Structure 1
Amino acid sequence: MPFIIDEDEPDLSTLFQGVKVPEPNMYISDSSQAVRLLSELIRNEKQPPVHRIKSMVAQLFALFSEISLDNELELYEQFLNLCARLTEIQKIRKLQNKAVVSFGGKFSAGKSRFINAISGIQDLLPVDQKPTTSVPTYIIKADHDTLSANSIYGYSTPLTTQSMGALTHEFYDTYGIGFSAFLDCIIAESSSFILPEGIALLDTPGYTKYDEKSLSKMTLSDRQRAFEQLRASDYLIWLVDIDNGGLNQDDLDFLASLHFQTKVLVVFTKADLKPEHEIHEILNLARQTMVRTAIPCFGVTAYSSNQNQEYCGNLIPVFFQYVLQDSVRSNDLFTAFQKLEDQLRQNLVRAIDTTGHTARDLFGGITRSRQVMQIRSLVELWGRTQQKYTQLRKLLKRYDNLVTQINHEIASYIQSEDQHG
């Protein structure tokens, strides 16, 4: 019996015409390419030379050897932390004067897809990452599209879309090597970035749910990594899979532990999976939950990355306007140094004022006294106090000169074109 072709049956050769099967990532399919990528990223170069700035900070505190400082140890540690951040010179240059908005939430909350959608960068960020292998990624506006990886050693390596695409759990599954051990961050500069230039986005790895029964070092590491990266940002958008039905206690505990001073925007992702009446119920419940906490909340909304649509409001663009109008910029090292040195200067000015008042009181006592021995004692005290007052005034000039030098060193360091590029 001859084989009869059903005319209604589709012709598979024409049905799939023009459909391209994605090529495998060469860094994952070719071990020699994987070795080359790792060698480029793991170069153990020396950290940028910030010893001169650290030495000048030490000199600054040495000026206060005879003055009681408020929170001296805490201030000194903050200065050293800022010095340490100067080793991240490539990142600091890119983020200078930008407000960093980070995205937090549990693993699989849809962060990368959400960022790709609201920023206009399409599929730039890998969405197939595990919390134990992913690397925090900054996205900023630029004239040209560039990708670079910043190592923990303080230098930058250009990335291609192929090498960027290798930063997924598939690489870890294939070779047993994660990038987060030696990469500080990735910086993606995009000409398609549709948000204002003064904003930088930070995609952080999701954290796994805390479970005392199945607690492991890996789980603690995931949570700690997410905590540290979110704390380094200025503003936070907290993402929740709408299938969770609301904010659970683990979300609230993690948010509270961050101690954010700026208001947090809560966004339920994958909203297209729910009918609108159910979305309203989930949002109302979440708003009531946030009101009962001490977490500063900007608002609660829902979003679909598939449809690039916000549901039940227009809070997301309003939140970014709030970010631009606010003044928090933790990556502005000039301002950070200025705030710290201003606290030191206030201590010195208070000491000068107190000593000056004491000297004037003693002089008044001398003019009012009628007893020779009392006058002699007061004159001696007045002389020592007046001498200390003069020394403190000279100390203030030395302090201001040293602060000027430190600011100049920091400016030269950040703006240098050939520094560890």
Structure 2
Amino acid sequence: MSPLDLKTNLSHDQLLERYQLLCKACSSDSSIDANLKSELAALEQLIKHDLVELTRKGCPDNITDILKAMDNELVRFREFCEFPSLATKSVVGIGGGFSAGKSSFINKLIGHKCLVAEVDPTTSMPAYVMKGQDETIQAINTNNCAITLTQAEFSSLTHEEKLIYGSQVGRMLKSAFITLPDFQWQNLAILDTPGYSKPEDQNWNERTDANLAKAQLNSANYIVWVVSAEAGVISEDDIKFLDSLDKKIPKYVLVSRADKRTEEDVPKIIELIKTTLANRGVNVIDVVPFSTRKRAKYSLEPVIAQMDAWNETLTVLQFAQNFKRQFLAYQSFLEEEQRLGNRRLHKLNRILTLADDDELTSDANDLIELVKQELQQLTQLKDNLASLNHVFFTKLKKIGDRAGVPLPEPNALELMDLKEIDLLGMLRQIREEQGLEEPIINPFADLFSQPINPKVIARILRRETPPDYGFDALMTGELFNQLPQLLRQAQPVDDIIKLLDEVK
């Protein structure tokens, strides 16, 4: 579209207001002090330059994911520095495809029409809504500075912005923060995310990439996924996207625009979505219908009850842990490469020991020298990574101290994902795979194989106790001497314990 095609028709005052908004969006004046800003710049240098340079000397196949995760975490950390109150909130990420009804749902939930329902996917930005003393709208621009917006300015960032105003301010803003005094959840922040799209989608843009939407939702503590009831099913793209999100994050599915379907259809749609997600291994808390129409019978009460439950759980800052996980992923790769290198070196030394041919010995020595050089490079790379890790977390802790938030470097043990192991189930699976039969166990098979007094055993099995056998006598007499053997051979042991209780 050329400038001549723009039908702005703005008055002088409107043009002046738009110009002032553009100036704010381009501002480089940060609300944080110069020292903190310098420390944040140093963190960014470590991630985007020093760490990248290190990867050129050796890195895992998923280094792009590691660097992207680092960068996304740094963006969230900058948001925390600009808006410290956000760090104390549990984030409820609202996700879904384009025009699924996410913003309309949030407006209805909070009782304010503060989010534009139909934003242009190429100019929309993630927006946080939370409780605050005053009703304010702030945003972070591409210079990582916080600016204040009026409701009118924020509402103007729609798909018609360029047509009406001849500008696209929304493309210069990274995220928005809305505070409301009457927001009912003290410990929650609602995150409205732009719809995701695929590269072949006509709506695709770097601001709407599925990876960006995934990063935003994976940063949340809880996820509400919105599906339009008009389709009658949950799309394959939605299922794949949900399955790609962090499995540890609780997920809740909301079926919007339920009033567009008949009352008979809605329960069937709900059940179909539940069954489909269960069959695909996507775990969700519940699937509930919803409509923004006042006369529709699909209320928000189930969602509000769920939000109330989430509000009871206080969040803990995870910046240090999330950064550390990425460093550990890189470190684990280097350690594995070292193990493989040492294994190759061991094999070559064995070959060299057994070789009696001069040419073979020479080739083995050349390979040994090559492997030693690789191991030396890996050791140097690991030392450089450890040094970078130390500098990074020293600076991170320093920033945390300035903000009054403890951000010490976590150790690897703290980040271990200790899961319960079903050992019995694993053994049964191995037995079935090997075609072994279920063992038949007779717990009393060898009860009398040892020279034990039969009278004592008979009394135990019949639960008979002689009149002169008190508990003290049992513990000091003949039965006491036989108990270890009985406990080793008799099954189940609980029966022996119950018997002793009765005797006592």
Alignment partner, residue 141 of structure 2: 151
Larger Rg: 2
Asked if structure 1 preserves the Cα contact closer than 8 Å seen for 2:104 and 2:292, the reply is yes
- 2:195 paired with 1:203: no
Of 124-133 and 88-97, more deviation after overlay is shown by 88-97
Deviation (angstroms), 1:148? 0.9
- 2:104 paired with 1:129: no
Alignment partner, residue 240 of structure 2: 256
Alignment partner, residue 275 of structure 2: 288
Deviation (angstroms), 1:339? 0.6
SS in 2 for 1:124: coil
- Which whole-Å CA distance do the structure 2 matches of 1:354 and 1:206 have between them? 44
Asked if structure 1 preserves the Cα contact closer than 8 Å seen for 2:97 and 2:195, the reply is yes
TM-score (norm 1): 0.64
Deviation (angstroms), 1:52? 4.6
- Which whole-Å CA distance do the structure 2 matches of 1:87 and 1:58 have between them? 17
> Number of matched residues?
367
**90, 102, 105: which one pairs with 1:111?**
102
- 2:127 paired with 1:141: no
SS in 2 for 1:51: helix
Structure 2: stretches of 5+ with no match in the other structure: 1-9, 31-36, 348-370, 404-504
Deviation (angstroms), 1:403? 2.2
- 2:51 paired with 1:57: yes
Of 161-170 and 86-95, more deviation after overlay is shown by 86-95
Deviation (angstroms), 1:158? 1.2
Deviation (angstroms), 1:189? 2.5
SS in 1 for 2:203: helix
Alignment partner, residue 240 of structure 1: 227
- 2:253 paired with 1:266: yes
- Supply the AA of the counterpart residue of 1:102: I
SS in 2 for 1:409: helix
- Which whole-Å CA distance do the structure 2 matches of 1:228 and 1:139 have between them? 22
Asked if structure 1 preserves the Cα contact closer than 8 Å seen for 2:28 and 2:145, the reply is no
Alignment partner, residue 225 of structure 1: 208
- Which whole-Å CA distance do the structure 2 matches of 1:127 and 1:76 have between them? 34
Alignment partner, residue 70 of structure 2: 82
Alignment partner, residue 341 of structure 1: 327
- Supply the AA of the counterpart residue of 1:40: K
SS in 2 for 1:195: coil
Alignment of 1:20-419 (within 5 A): 30-43=14-27, 49=41, 50-52=44-46, 54=48, 56-57=50-51, 70-71=60-61, 74-75=62-63, 78-79=66-67, 82-83=70-71, 86=74, 90-93=78-81, 94=83, 95-96=86-87, 98-107=90-99, 109-118=100-109, 120=110, 122-169=112-159, 171-195=161-185, 197=187, 199-206=188-195, 219-221=202-204, 225=208, 227-232=210-215, 233-234=217-218, 235-242=222-229, 244=230, 246-247=232-233, 251-257=235-241, 259-262=244-247, 264-271=251-258, 276-293=263-280, 295-307=282-294, 314=302, 317-318=305-306, 321=309, 332-347=318-333, 400=386, 402-413=388-399
Deviation (angstroms), 1:393? 9.2
Asked if structure 1 preserves the Cα contact closer than 8 Å seen for 2:46 and 2:392, the reply is no
Of 304-313 and 397-406, more deviation after overlay is shown by 304-313
1:232-263 Cα offsets, whole Å, 9 max, x none, are 21254232333x15125xx3224414622335
- Which whole-Å CA distance do the structure 2 matches of 1:88 and 1:114 have between them? 24
- Which whole-Å CA distance do the structure 1 matches of 2:63 and 2:392 have between them? 16
Deviation (angstroms), 1:267? 1.3
Aligned alpha-carbon RMSD (Å): 5.2
Sort the Cα spacing of 1:396 and 1:183 in 2 relative to 1 into closer, same or farther, 3 A. Answer: closer
Sort the Cα spacing of 1:326 and 1:70 in 2 relative to 1 into closer, same or farther, 3 A. Answer: farther
Deviation (angstroms), 1:222? 5.8
Of 346-355 and 93-102, more deviation after overlay is shown by 346-355
Higher RCO (CA-CA < 8 Å; seq separation 6+): 1
- Which whole-Å CA distance do the structure 1 matches of 2:48 and 2:291 have between them? 48
1:136-187 Cα offsets, whole Å, 9 max, x none, are 3122333443311111232221112232232234544312333332221212
**Amino-acid identity (%):** 19
Deviation (angstroms), 1:37? 1.0
- Which whole-Å CA distance do the structure 1 matches of 2:289 and 2:261 have between them? 10
Asked if structure 1 preserves the Cα contact closer than 8 Å seen for 2:105 and 2:292, the reply is yes
- Which whole-Å CA distance do the structure 1 matches of 2:337 and 2:143 have between them? 41
- Which whole-Å CA distance do the structure 2 matches of 1:89 and 1:175 have between them? 33
- Supply the AA of the counterpart residue of 1:150: I
- Supply the AA of the counterpart residue of 2:329: Q
